[in-house]
Amino acid sequence: QQQVKQSPQSLIVQKGGISIINCAYENTAFDYFPWYQQFPGKGPALLIAIRPDVSEKKEGRFTISFNKSAKQFSLHIMDSQPGDSATYFCAAKGADTGRRALTFGSGTRLQVQP
Amino acid sequence: DAGVIQSPRHEVTEMGQEVTLRCKPISGHDYLFWYRQTMMRGLELLIYFNNNVPIDDSGMPEDRFSAKMPNASFSTLKIQPSEPRDSAVYFCASSLRGTGFMNTEAFFGQGTRLTVV
């Protein structure tokens, strides 16, 4: 019930291409879905987040698409750049009730080739 | 604010020794989380506190692990005795409870890389 499943494990994209990372969850009590970005030697940092009352959220080149009925959400990185090379984690948690800690996916290592 | 501060950044210890990891959360945050990151298991929640009180410690792997939060500005994670399989990067994070959307963000420290030999 607490799991968040993430794919792919690794991804290689050419500069300027679109990177797509997918996640699925089981717990319908989750109502906050962030994506975190982690560079080597650093802690994860919030990239973008969405609530399930919207189907899409865009911030610059980063977009979250959310499908509540399928319990799936994805991160799209448009015009991918070498500086986007990092590990990306999807996550989920409940808000005012239940477990307040983030449950993370297994991570996707993205490499953007110049 | 300097963000979440963890110490030490790196720790190498011998099997059987006691290890203490330290965390200073962001001032005013009332949630504190300890996570462990390994290649095999990813980011796992170990324990989290709300207003200095442990809320969920179901992720603590064994009795060898213990965590305390004596006040709002300090927490420790202790492993006694340490074992090679405890080698990992340990992250501390903090957040506000908040009712606003962005107040749920968890801010992570830079982590402590623990190596038990």
Structure confidence at residue B1 (pLDDT): 64
A93 part of contact set with chain B, CB < 8 Å: yes
pLDDT tops 70 at residue A11? yes
B3 Ramachandran zone, left/alpha/beta (phi>0; psi -120 to 50): left
- Over residues A41-47, the mean pLDDT reads 94
Residue B22: the pLDDT is: 98
| pLDDT for A28 | 85
Contact B111 A43 (CB under 8 A): yes
Contacts B108 to A, Cβ<8 Å: 43-45
| B64-92 tens-digit pLDDT | 999 999 999 999 999 999 999 999 999 99
Of chain A, the percentage scoring pLDDT greater than 90 comes to 79
Task: Please state the φ and ψ torsions of residue B87, each to the nearest 5 degrees.
Answer: -60, 125
A29 — pLDDT class (breaks 50, 70, 90) = confident
Model confidence at A78, in pLDDT bands (50, 70, 90)? very high
| Cβ of residue B45 closer than 8 Å to a chain A Cβ | yes
> Could you tell me which of B48, B47, B56, B113 has the C-alpha nearest to residue B86?
B113
Helix (H, G, I), strand (E, B) or coil at B104: helix
Instruction: Using pLDDT thresholds of 50, 70 and 90, give the confidence band for residue A101.
Output: confident
B43 contacts A107? CB cut-off 8 A: yes
DSSP helix, strand, coil percent of chain A (3-state; round to 5): 5, 55, 45
Is B105 an interface residue toward A (CB < 8 Å)? yes
Residue matched to tokens 């560079």 = A39
* Residue A2 confidence (pLDDT): 63
CB < 8 Å to A101, chain B: 33, 45, 48, 56
Number of Cβ within a 10 Å radius of residue B85: 10
**What span, in angstroms and rounded, lies between the C-alpha atoms of B97 and A101?**
11
How far is it, in rounded angstroms, from Cα B80 to Cα A33? 35
pLDDT computed for residue A70 by the predictor: 95
Contacts of A26 (CB under 8 A, 6+ apart): A1, A2, A3, A71
**Distance in angstroms (rounded) separating the CA atoms of residues A92 and A102:** 6
| Per-residue pLDDT, A52 | 87
Residue A3 distance to chain B (closest CA, Å): 11
Higher pLDDT residue, B98 or A101? A101
Average pLDDT of chain A to the nearest whole number: 92
Please write the tens of the pLDDT for every residue from A59-68.
Answer: 999 999 999 9
Nearest chain B residue to A41 by CA: give it: B110
What distances in angstroms separate CA B109 from CA A8, A29, A43, one per listed residue?
Answer: 26, 27, 6
Tell me what the mean pLDDT of segment A7-30 comes to. 95
* Cα A33 from Cα A90, distance rounded (Å): 7
Is the per-residue pLDDT at A53 higher than 70? yes
Q: What residues of chain B, 51 to 80, have a C-beta less than 8 Å from chain A?
A: 55-56
Confidence at residue B103, expressed as pLDDT on a 0 to 100 scale: 53
Which chain A residues contact residue B35 at CB under 8 A?
104
Mean pLDDT, residues A50-73 taken together: 94
**pLDDT value at residue A30:** 86
Is any Cβ of chain A less than 8 angstroms from the Cβ of B114? no
Query: Is B104's Cβ below 8 Å from some Cβ in A?
Result: yes
> Hey, CA dihedral for A48, A17, A12, A6, is it positive or negative?
positive
Whether A72 and A24 have beta carbons less than 8 Å apart is answered as: yes
CA A81 to chain centre: 17
Among residues A96, A92, A94, A72, which one has the least CA distance to residue A20? Answer: A72
pLDDT at residue A106 above 90? yes
